[in-house]
A and B are shown apart, each in its own frame.
Chain A
C-alpha cells in the first residue's frame, strides 16, 4: 500500500518517513539488519550457556563437607534423594527451555532467510512463545539468590552462588535480546510474495 507503520504505537505514515511523529521511534518497513543482530546475540547467548553448565552453580557447605554442584549435577542429586518431581522441574527450566529457545530462534531466523514448510501462523505462535518464555529462565538465578542469602547458618550450613550463575544470567539476557531483535513482520512476507498483495497489504 506504500505505507510504513510504527511498530510501537501502530501509527501509519507514507513510505520513506524516517521517524514516527507520534512516539519518536525510527520507522523501517522491514528491519534489514534484524537478522544480523538476531544471530549476533544468539551466538553470544550460546557461548555463555556452555560455561553456565560446566562451572558450579551452587557451593553448599555443611558441617563436614563442601559440595559444588553444576546445574545438571544438582538435578541428578535431587533425583538420588528421591525428589524426582523437583529434579524434572529444574531440568526443564534450566536445560530443556534454554536449548529449546536457541533452536526456536535459529529455526525462525532460517525460516525467514530460506523459507519454511511450517505455516506462518505456527511460526508467529512460536515467536510469541519464545518472547514470552524468555524472561522466565531468570527464575534459576533468583532461586540461587534466595537460597544463598537465606541459607547462611554460621557453622551449620551455608550456600553460596558459583560462577555458573553469572554465565547463566548473561545467556538468558542475550537470548532475550536475540528474540527482541527479530522482526516478526518478516515471517509474513513470503506468504504475501507468493499470493500477490493480499487484502492486508
Chain B
C-alpha cells in the first residue's frame, strides 16, 4: 500500500477501518496480504479459489452442526448411575426458573449463531463463485453475517468442554459420544472458514457485479 494524494480518485483509495489511515489501493496477488503500515491491521488477503473452499467448508459445517447437536455428546458414569447429554442439553441446562434467558442465549451462541452465519455466507458466496448476479439482499445478508461474527462462540464452548472435563474427571468416568468428535472437527472448520474469507474481496465483488 502506498500513500495517497488528494488527486487520487475515490475508487482507488482504501482506508484502514481501525486507524483511518488512507492508502492508494494496490491489489495484492493471491496469497499476499495488504497490511496497514500504521497499525498493522490486515486490509486485504485474497486467496486462490477461496470462494470454492469456503463453500465446501460451509456445507460440511452445516451438516456437522446439525449432527453434533442431535447425537449424544458426553456421558458420565459413577457408582452405577449414568447420564449422557447432547449439546442442546448442555445449552438448556439453564432452562427453568430465572435462568431461562441464559438458556436461550447459550443455545444461540453455540448452535444457532454459527449456523446462521454459515447459511448467510453460503447465500452470499454461491452466486459470486458461479459468476452470477448477487442474490437478492446479498449485501444485507453479508452485513448480518459480519455483525454476528463476535457472537459465534463454538470454539469457546469447545475449550469450555476441556475445562469442565478436567473438573469432573476425578469424580466420575467420562466418555465421549459421537457428537464430541463431530464438534471437534466442526470447531476447526469454523475457524478455517473465517480465516479463508477476505472481507474486502467479498464487498468488492458484490459491488462490481451490482454495477454490471
Q: Which residues of A contact B200 (CB under 8 A)?
A: 9-10
Interface size on A, residues (CB 8 A): 62
Give 6 A-B pairs besides A3-B10, A24-B143, A188-B19 with Cβ atoms closer than 8 angstroms: A23-B142, A142-B156, A151-B171, A165-B99, A169-B105, A184-B19
- Count how many pairs of residues, one from A and one from B, have CB atoms less than 8 Å apart in the complex: 187
> Cβ of A153 and Cβ of B83 under 8 Å apart?
yes
Say yes or no for A143: interface residue by CB 8 A criterion. yes
Least distance between A159 CB and chain B CB atoms (Å): 9
Say yes or no for A156: interface residue by CB 8 A criterion. yes
Find residues 117-156 in chain A having any chain B CB closer than 8 Å to their own CB: 120-121, 124, 128, 131, 134-136, 138-156
> Cβ of B83 and Cβ of A150 under 8 Å apart?
yes
Interface size on B, residues (CB 8 A): 66
> Cβ of B164 and Cβ of A147 under 8 Å apart?
yes
Q: Which residues of A contact B140 (CB under 8 A)?
A: 24
> Cβ of A184 and Cβ of B168 under 8 Å apart?
no
Q: Which residues of B contact A34 (CB under 8 A)?
A: none
Q: Which residues of A contact B65 (CB under 8 A)?
A: none
Residue of A nearest to B79 (CB): A156
Q: Which residues of A contact B203 (CB under 8 A)?
A: 8-11, 22-23
> Cβ of B17 and Cβ of A8 under 8 Å apart?
yes
Say yes or no for B185: interface residue by CB 8 A criterion. no
> Cβ of A188 and Cβ of B20 under 8 Å apart?
yes
- Please judge, given known A-B contacts A5-B15, A25-B143, whether A86 and B167 are in contact too, CB under 8 Å: yes
Interface centre among A1, A131, A150, A200 (most CB of B within 10 A): A150
> Cβ of B94 and Cβ of A146 under 8 Å apart?
no
Say yes or no for B48: interface residue by CB 8 A criterion. no
A interface: dominant SS: helix
User: B: which residues have CB within 8 A of A?
Assistant: 3-4, 6, 10, 13-23, 38-39, 43, 74, 76, 78-79, 81-83, 85, 89-94, 98-99, 101-102, 105-106, 109-110, 139-140, 142-143, 146, 150-151, 153, 156-157, 159-161, 163-164, 166-168, 171-172, 174, 199-200, 203, 206-207
Residue of A nearest to B11 (CB): A12
Say yes or no for A110: interface residue by CB 8 A criterion. no
Q: Which residues of A contact B13 (CB under 8 A)?
A: 3, 5, 12
> Cβ of A169 and Cβ of B102 under 8 Å apart?
yes
> Cβ of B38 and Cβ of A7 under 8 Å apart?
no
Q: Which residues of B contact A108 (CB under 8 A)?
A: none
Least distance between B156 CB and chain A CB atoms (Å): 5
Say yes or no for A181: interface residue by CB 8 A criterion. no
- Please judge, given known A-B contacts A3-B10, A89-B163, A156-B79, whether A145 and B93 are in contact too, CB under 8 Å: yes
Q: Which residues of A contact B10 (CB under 8 A)?
A: 3, 11-14
> Cβ of A146 and Cβ of B160 under 8 Å apart?
yes
1/0 per residue, CB under 8 A from B, across A186-201: the answer is 0110000000000111
- Please judge, given known A-B contacts A148-B93, A150-B90, A153-B78, whether A200 and B22 are in contact too, CB under 8 Å: yes
Cα separation A24 to B209 with both chains bound (whole Å): 16
Residue of B nearest to A158 (CB): B83
Say yes or no for A111: interface residue by CB 8 A criterion. no
**8 Å CB contact of B15 from A10, A89, A142, A180:** A10
Q: Which residues of A contact B18 (CB under 8 A)?
A: 124, 128, 184-185
User: Top 5 nearest A-B pairs by Cβ distance?
Assistant: A5-B15, A142-B160, A200-B21, A9-B203, A153-B81
Say yes or no for A51: interface residue by CB 8 A criterion. no
> Cβ of A200 and Cβ of B3 under 8 Å apart?
yes
> Cβ of A1 and Cβ of B6 under 8 Å apart?
yes
> Cβ of A176 and Cβ of B168 under 8 Å apart?
no
Residue of B nearest to A137 (CB): B156
